[in-house]
Structure 1
């Protein structure tokens, strides 16, 4: 009898050892209209990806089970016919959609106007960060309304508060990333907030990141971009290129830069509202300093010649303008790592880059300083 008990125990032990560890996703969906719809599991960051799995939503709930060899970023979402895609601020999940780390264990997903995932340490930490971001943004709608009010004092106050909130959010995100440079959620946050986090801080993060972090979609692009920016950083010589003017005549940047004048290289486009808003300041600055050793070279990211020409005329731009009419594929923009506009570089008389992205009074103050 003892022999059979030993054999039975051994069989149970073998069975237990042969079971693969797995995950179980227990999901809830707040919108009753989505009952009877399938929610799909996708690999994160892969365009036109085929669903890895799916589950039917019944009575506001669904379950997904499987096994994951190593943690990986995944996205849960409905078809576009069931839930129309929506753009959201960085750090937020779109309505009824969630990006999370899929790993073995019990995960809880809530698909709602604000979706969350919890159940493992990394997903719990990301959920906590998202809650912090949501709390900081709680009064943003009123601030946006105030900025459209037409009341100058109210607009000024709202803009200052908005910038303060934006800075606090960025600080929270950077702190999270630096504390998790071996985590995929941190890498996703870096990519999502790439326009908010400064170049120096991005370089610091990348220098501390491990291979798992760097393998997340979008990070290799950021690394390449940072390497380009190092070549055109403050203190480096400007990078030359050739581009046509509005008449189709080719010109090298070196015809205007590095020849004894302080030059502002201005990447802009006629379709860019912030560029147009800044242009009166540039017109004023150009008129004031053009005969004192200052010049501007505009590099337009337009793709239509007529729109470019109209923009130049309407905005009273009288300085040199160059464009290959390739929009965001502009050859000069690629060499200077431009991924948002307006983007400016101030270059000293000998061709050394001395400042970046100065506007308004800050630009004028710098020009005064270097023209002494």
Structure 2
């Protein structure tokens, strides 16, 4: 799973486009307001917007572009992530805005690659992706290539299940992914330790060990942040996530919830007290979820009569697609959803940031295990029911 997470995160980062060139601007350390001077090549006129990322993409200001130039002026209470983008464009220049003189220079239709100068905290933050993360990528990409090659080789062997690797090849890859994970944790931890008094450390901690959960490492690194960083907007978010990890850790009592099923009836987690239940977060549009569904069906059919249940919680926002996926995949257990997509209230309660995600709850209401997929699900249930 770690190799999938790392691969997704690297690809997402490339799309995010944060590898920009930044320099410090010590002259504005004590400024009480900000000025953003921008220049967009090949855009003689138009409109650009300043967006506060962590408030539902809220537009806080706009500026007319004249001969490629634009300007924003204002004041922030604390440095936060903002984005400048053209009208009707999905991506833009993302940076940490503080009360400084900042210059942004980019090209039309690729503003996400813009050069940002003068943003002190932004420069520290992006130095991680420009330096440390690049080292991780250099080690990672050859492993992806090896993985692709081994899958092509084993695809020709009819004795190997489609999409799987031979035990020998899987062992080779597992060792390489393990070493890559060790390197990634080492370099990221060193960056955070070195910049414990900078917002970049908090952001990287959130992106590398909260979004892609590694609670133990996140907890250790949070402790070394300065008090100021812990009290920052992002520091508080990290703390909230760590508290959530604690509440949904193995051995904890699973948070109670209620949600509406496909017939409009209310289903409670407490309805399953005295039995084992797999809370399965999924969605009709999620390829990995649909791929895993046959494995869950197999487990349900094998262990249901022994006291095993499944409760599907969908992150869909279209009821017809949700119901169609349930029917097509033969998911005969109970399903609930508030049809709010990623805003699903139960998913938020459990801190779900990716699907598929699942929690196995015991008869006493405590979390027995989490993220059981493929053979791990079958193995765990075999241990429980002594199959």
Is TM (by shorter chain) over 0.5?
A: yes
> How much has 1:312 moved relative to structure 2?
1.4
Structure 2 counterparts to residues 74-223 of structure 1, below 5 A: 75=82, 77-80=84-87, 84-86=89-91, 97-100=93-96, 102=98, 111=106, 114-115=113-114, 117=116, 125-132=124-131, 133-134=133-134, 136-137=136-137, 143=144, 151=152, 153=154, 168-169=183-184, 171-193=186-208, 194-223=210-239
C-alpha root-mean-square deviation of aligned residues, in Å? Answer: 4.6
Contact 1:236/1:352 (CA < 8 Å) preserved in 2?
A: yes
Contact 2:251/2:367 (CA < 8 Å) preserved in 1?
A: yes
Contact 2:282/2:289 (CA < 8 Å) preserved in 1?
A: yes
Which structure 2 residue ranges, 5 or more long, are not aligned? 1-27, 156-162
> How much has 1:356 moved relative to structure 2?
0.9
Contact 1:67/1:104 (CA < 8 Å) preserved in 2?
A: no
Q: Secondary structure at the match of 2:217?
A: helix
CA distance in 2, matches of 1:73, 1:130: 18
Moved more, 169-178 or 32-41: 32-41
CA distance in 2, matches of 1:322, 1:104: 49
> Which residue pairs with 2:42 in the alignment?
33
> How much has 1:368 moved relative to structure 2?
2.0
Q: TM-score with structure 2 length normalisation? A: 0.66
Moved more, 354-363 or 234-243: 234-243
CA distance in 1, matches of 2:90, 2:99: 26
Alpha-carbon distance change, 329 to 20 in structure 1, aligned in 2, over 3 angstroms: closer
Structure number having the greater helix percentage: 2
Q: TM-score with structure 1 length normalisation? A: 0.68
Contact 2:125/2:199 (CA < 8 Å) preserved in 1?
A: no
Contact 1:182/1:213 (CA < 8 Å) preserved in 2?
A: yes
Contact 1:184/1:213 (CA < 8 Å) preserved in 2?
A: yes
> How much has 1:281 moved relative to structure 2?
1.2
Contact 1:137/1:165 (CA < 8 Å) preserved in 2?
A: no
Alpha-carbon distance change, 265 to 281 in structure 1, aligned in 2, over 3 angstroms: same
CA distance in 1, matches of 2:115, 2:182: 24
Alpha-carbon distance change, 366 to 186 in structure 1, aligned in 2, over 3 angstroms: same
